[in-house]
Amino acid sequence: MELQVDQVTIAFGARTVLQDASLQLRRGEIVGLFGRNGSGKSTLLKIIFGTVRAPAAQLRIDGERWAQRELIPAGKVAYLPQQEYLPTGITTRALLPLLFSDGEKLDRIFYAPLVEHFAHRKLHDLSVGERKYLGILILCQLDHPFLLLDEPFTMIDPLCKDLIKTLLAESKKVKGILLSDHYYDDVLQIADRSYLLQDGGLVPVAGRADLKRLGYLGR
């Protein structure tokens, strides 16, 4: 299954942030998205998810055209925003059965590493990293074929990062995953391929050397 995104153009006031940007995301791959602060990475993810409108954008899944507003109800794309998305006045134990009725999915989350240590506490009593890890675990259990992750490694300790990498490597067997984070070594380590968002467009990058050459990393 392949998601093809073309002609993504958006301006805020006089500033054009994305200009005819295009990318592809296939089931079975992790794609990294790099870019300087303010280059438009989060905006691009929100456009693909459907919460920021870009009327000229063309979205295709296996060649079939989809309107932006159709993707969320159709359950095609899941999205981890930069800000926290889970309710916090509830324990993990109470929350998960509200989200999933499938016992296998519930077990996969409850028995995932670390979860038993915090499942009985309300989410507002967890660390930022624990909440983010839980948020990613939940998204990975959804049936959506495409998963967009905005800064999955930010505020995460090294051991938990390793857990997330293992989880994503497992999840890509059934999903296409697009992730953006300034922890570029972590992204490069798990990405099958990557893009740099620059001057509104997406440039394929093969690794650190390209990121240096294109000015994302200092020399």
Site residues (CB under 6 A) for ligand ATP? 12, 17, 35, 37-43
Shortest CA distance to 176 belongs to which of 36, 7, 62? 62
Can you list the positions of beta strands (E) in 82-185? Answer: 146-150, 176-180
- Closer residue to ligand ATP in complex, CB, 42/194: 42
Instruction: Report CA-CA distances (Å) from 31 to 23, 24, 91, 106.
Output: 10, 9, 32, 27
Nearer to ligand ATP, 39 or 171 (CB): 39
Task: Report in angstroms how near the CB of residue 36 gets to ligand ATP at its nearest.
Answer: 7
Distance, C-alpha 104 to centroid of its chain: 23
* DSSP-assigned letter for residue 85: -
CB closer to ligand ATP out of 40 and 145: 40
Q: How far is the CB of 99 from ligand ATP (least distance, A)?
A: 27
- Beta-ladder partners of 177: 30, 147
The least CB distance from residue 90 to ligand ATP, in Å, is: 28
Q: Provide the minimum distance between the beta carbon of 50 and ligand ATP in the complex, in angstroms, as a whole number.
A: 15
The residue (of 53 and 117) whose beta carbon lies closer to ligand ATP is 53
